[in-house]
């Protein structure tokens, strides 16, 4: 049997870490969003979990103040001032003040016209979706 020897010239090169690892590291370092004052736009149910079959905590009247903790594609986690419980409401029922820089870290992006947080002022390219990728790129210096 013979051994195979590989010779290289110059110092060994380092390879960049895989993109997946870099992305995951950035996600782990990201701070959780800051809870923000918001309100529900219409009468809505406040659920224990992001599931309409889960137990109901309360029926919230339109314009009820809530503290918004985070949102996902269909649901937002909220608490009601004066109540230390957290629960979930459907995302289209929530609204808050601020521009896309405030909304996106909370998970409110790609807002459709049917959502409470949609406004023409947040839809910079007037394509019917506010705080989408194109809107965010347009606000960069």
The pLDDT tens digits for 30-74 are 667 889 999 999 999 999 999 999 999 999 999 999 999 999 999
Distances from the Cα of 134 to the Cα of 100, 102, 109, 110, 127, angstroms: 12, 16, 11, 10, 9
The Cα–Cα gap between 55 and 46 comes to 9
Question: Over 80: is that where the pLDDT of 76 sits?
Answer: yes
Question: Over 90: is that where the pLDDT of 10 sits?
Answer: no
Q: What is the pLDDT of residue 9?
A: 54
Q: Model-level pTM?
A: 0.71
The Cα–Cα gap between 9 and 50 comes to 59
Question: Over 60: is that where the pLDDT of 8 sits?
Answer: no
**How large is the average pLDDT for residues 11-26?**
46
Q: What is the pLDDT of residue 23?
A: 40
* Contact call for residues 113 and 127 (beta carbons, < 8 A): no
Which residue's entry shows tokens 């839809």? 123
Phi, then psi, of 102 in degrees rounded to 5: -85, -40
């Amino acid at each position: 049997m013979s051994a195979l020897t590989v010779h290289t010239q110059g110092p060994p090169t380092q390879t960049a870490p895989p993109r997946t690892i870099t992305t995951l590291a950035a996600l782990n370092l990201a701070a959780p969003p800051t809870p923000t004052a918001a309100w529900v736009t219409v009468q809505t149910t406040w659920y224990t979990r992001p599931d309409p079959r889960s137990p109901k905590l309360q029926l919230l009247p339109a314009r009820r103040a809530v503290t918004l903790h985070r949102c996902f594609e269909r649901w937002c986690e909220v608490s009601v001032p004066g109540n230390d419980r957290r629960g979930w409401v459907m995302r289209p029922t929530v609204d808050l003040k601020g521009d896309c820089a405030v909304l996106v870290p909370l998970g409110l992006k790609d807002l459709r016209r049917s959502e409470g947080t949609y406004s023409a002022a947040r839809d910079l390219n007037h394509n019917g979706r506010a705080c989408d990728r194109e809107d965010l790129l347009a606000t960069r210096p």
